[in-house]
Amino acid sequence: MAGQSVQRQLWEQYDHLVEGNWVEPASGEYVETVDPGTEEPITAVADGTAADVDRAVTAAIEAFATWRDTDPVERGQRVGRVADLIRDHLDELAQIESRDQGKPLSQARHELEGAARYFEYYGGAADKLEGSSIPVGPDGVDYTVREPYGVSAQIIPWNLPGNLFARGVAPALAAGNAVVVKPAPTTPLSAFYLAELCHEAGIPGGAVNVVSGGGAAGAALTEHEGVDTITFTGSVVTGQKVMEAAAKSITPVTLELGGKNPAIVYPDADLERAVEAVAMGIFTNAGQVCSAADRALVHESVYDEFVDRIAAVAEGYDLGHGLDDPEMGPLNSADHLAKVAGYLDTGKAEGATLVTGGEVRDGEGYFVEPTVFADAHNDMRIAQEEIFGPVLTVLPFDNDTDVFDVANDVDYGLTAGVFTTDLARAHRAAKRLEAGNVYVNQWFGDTNRTPFGGYKQSGIGREKGLAALDSYLQTKNVAIDLG
């Protein structure tokens, strides 16, 4: 609750967090969250409906008036204070995230340290959101101011829950908006915790609300007339629904959607470095990363060696419960396990060479073996569709291939990578690749300071960096006639 210390352990049941108070769901319904490493229930979480969303949006509208007018220095300091509190609570937060999502504990820590950085970074920006002055001659004055929208809806997926909460909430708050967050139904726990830390840092309760639940709560939020801007991270299919709902009231949307990201490995690449980066790029978080290195396009002269080496890396991974901090945890849910298992069957049926992995692990938990499919063609489903699991698709190319035609021949355009020791080749590749983020001789090259977002069906708008603030500020031009 606002101003009070946050919980120090998991509760048996979570209500919605509205205006700094725990509020029972209007339906009285709760859903269980499950530990993906054991398939045992963790806790029960309120199942949100339109009535809960309405309550939270109403609270946000009220809080916005005060938060918007809080001195930007003070506003920034409070946002920055959240970073300190996240660091103070890092151990417990990471444990909750690891248990809820399934990810290895050290990855959860790393992502939550990243969450702290978002609050620190955007807290520092709150008093620098300057407009501009436009020369209009001696008889006029013209200037712009940047103003918050009002209520920002934040809809979050289940793969990096705490980190993505911070990625959207921190810039929204720094810009003076109030937020209503709808976390994913299988990973809501870090959102509650982080919202409480926001309140403890002095951000008004009504400026950070959390309504848990699934698609019904998400849809109600995107349709609510009190919402002024929507940030959605998730799949393309849901993103399309969000856009349709937003179209009714012309509400702006920032969409961060999926990817099927190519990693091009040239003959002159440092192969060890390329293998290491692509393995990290596809196997981190069991492949449940939008910017993952999904497709390796490897020159034929280094193809066999690349495939052998990356298969060896995949075979060396130890899988286990997230809290035991293995190299790879389970997938997040039974539904998602079924989806990834379906792609393992598809890859085999399409005739790609299964080099390693390819099976769901027996026993408790939603574990999939790190998998490498080689000799794939770009028209195969495993080369075109986002699997969102630890499954790498490798395709060879030769000197006669325009590798960019292959790399760009997908509906997505989120990230792309190029591995070469030739600087000119790297720059040429960066120009040709149709992706919002290009990594050279590394993977996951972006930081919280660098703009991130998709070309094509990977999204609209940019998160991270100063560019993200454009999603949370609208420009007003003031024209004055001095005559």
- In DSSP terms, 23 is beta-bridged to 16
234 binds ligand NAD (CB under 6 A): yes
Residue 222 touches ligand NAD, criterion: CB under 6 A: yes
**Does 355 help bind ligand NAD (rule: CB under 6 A)?**
no
Residue 410 tokens, joined: 């997908």
Say which residue the tokens 């921190």 belong to.
170
* CB-nearer residue toward ligand NAD: 317 or 444: 444
Window of 11-19, 95-103, 212-220, 277-285 that interacts with ligand NAD by CB under 6 A: 212-220
Q: Could you say whether residue 373 binds ligand NAD (CB under 6 A)?
A: no
CB 286 within 8 A of CB 280: no
- 111 or 386: CB nearest ligand NAD: 386
256 touches 471 (CB < 8 A):
no
Q: Is 100 in the site for ligand NAD (CB under 6 A)?
A: no
Closer by beta carbon to ligand NAD, 167 or else 309: 167
Does 439 help bind ligand NAD (rule: CB under 6 A)? no
Q: Is 198 a catalytic residue?
A: no
CA geometry: angle at 26 spanning 22 and 31, to 5°?
75
Q: Contacts with ligand NAD in 384-403 (CB under 6 A)?
A: 386, 388
> Is position 459 an interface residue for ligand NAD (rule: CB under 6 A)?
yes
- Smallest distance from ligand NAD to CB 398, Å: 31
Measured CA to CA in angstroms, residue 120 lies from 15, 172, 472 at distances of: 28, 13, 17
Shortest Å distance, C-beta 232 to ligand NAD: 7
Q: Is 195 exposed, middle or buried (0-12, 13-18, 19+ CB in 10 A)?
A: buried
80 belongs to the binding site for ligand NAD (CB under 6 A): no
DSSP secondary structure of 166-219: HHHHHHHHHTT-EEEEE--TTS-HHHHHHHHHHHHTT--GGGEEE---SHHHHH
If binding means CB under 6 A, how many residues of this protein chain bind ligand NAD?
A: 30
Verify binding: residue 215, ligand NAD, rule CB under 6 A.
yes
Query: Does 241 help bind ligand NAD (rule: CB under 6 A)?
Result: yes
Residue linked to tokens 């019904």: 216
Which of positions 268-307 make contact with ligand NAD (CB under 6 A)?
290
238 lines the binding site for ligand NAD (CB under 6 A): yes
Q: Alpha helices of 386-444 — where are they, by DSSP H?
A: 403-407, 423-432
Angle at 342 between CA 324 and CA 308, to 5 degrees: 65
Long-range contacts of 28-33 (CB under 8 A, 24+ apart): 31/185, 31/213, 31/214, 33/100, 33/185, 33/186, 33/187, 33/188, 33/189
206 contributes a contact to ligand NAD by CB under 6 A: no
Q: In this structure, what are the phi and psi dihedrals at residue 231, rounded to the nearest 5 degrees?
A: -115, 115
Given the rule CB under 6 A, which of 35-43, 173-181, 230-238, 265-273 is the region that contacts ligand NAD? 230-238
CB of 133 to ligand NAD, least distance (A): 35
Please identify which of the residues 111, 120, 290, 434 carries the catalytic annotation: 290
Nearer to ligand NAD (CB atom), residue 243 or residue 354: 243
d(CA 353, CA 347): 8
**Of 94, 170, 175, 414, which lies in the binding site for ligand NAD, with binding defined by CB under 6 A?**
414
Q: Which stretch binds ligand NAD (CB under 6 A): 70-78, 170-178, 237-245, 298-306?
A: 237-245
* Distance of closest approach, residue 12 Cβ to ligand NAD, in angstroms: 23
Judged by CB under 6 A, the residue of 94, 175, 181, 242 near ligand NAD is 242
- Judged by CB under 6 A, which of 35, 196, 256, 434 binds ligand NAD? 256
Choosing from 256, 369, 386, 434, the catalytic residue is 256
290 is catalytic: yes
Q: Closest distance between ligand NAD and the C-beta of residue 140, in Å?
A: 42
First and final C-alpha spacing in the chain = 54
The piece of 41-49, 52-60, 89-97, 181-189 that touches ligand NAD (CB under 6 A) is 181-189
Can you list the alpha helix ranges (DSSP code H) found in 102-188?
Answer: 105-125, 161-174
Is residue 185 near ligand NAD by the rule CB under 6 A? yes
71's CB contacts (< 8 A; 6+ apart) are none
Counting DSSP H helices and E strands in the chain, the numbers are 14, 22
Residue nearest to ligand NAD (CB): 218
How many degrees, rounded to 5, is the angle at CA 230 between CA 227 and CA 232?
145
34, 186 contact by CB (below 8 A) = yes
The answer to whether residues 98 and 108 touch, using CB atoms and an 8 Å cutoff, is: yes
Distance of closest approach, residue 470 Cβ to ligand NAD, in angstroms: 16
161's CB contacts (< 8 A; 6+ apart) are: 97, 100, 101, 183, 184, 187, 188, 189, 190, 191
Binding to ligand NAD by CB under 6 A, coded x per residue (else -) over 139-168, reads: ----------------xxxxxx--------
Which residue number, 116 or 289, has a Cβ lying nearer to ligand NAD? 289
The residues binding ligand NAD (CB under 6 A) are 155-160, 182, 184-185, 214-215, 218-219, 222, 233-235, 238, 241-242, 256-259, 290, 386, 388, 414, 454, 459
- Residues with catalytic function: 256, 290
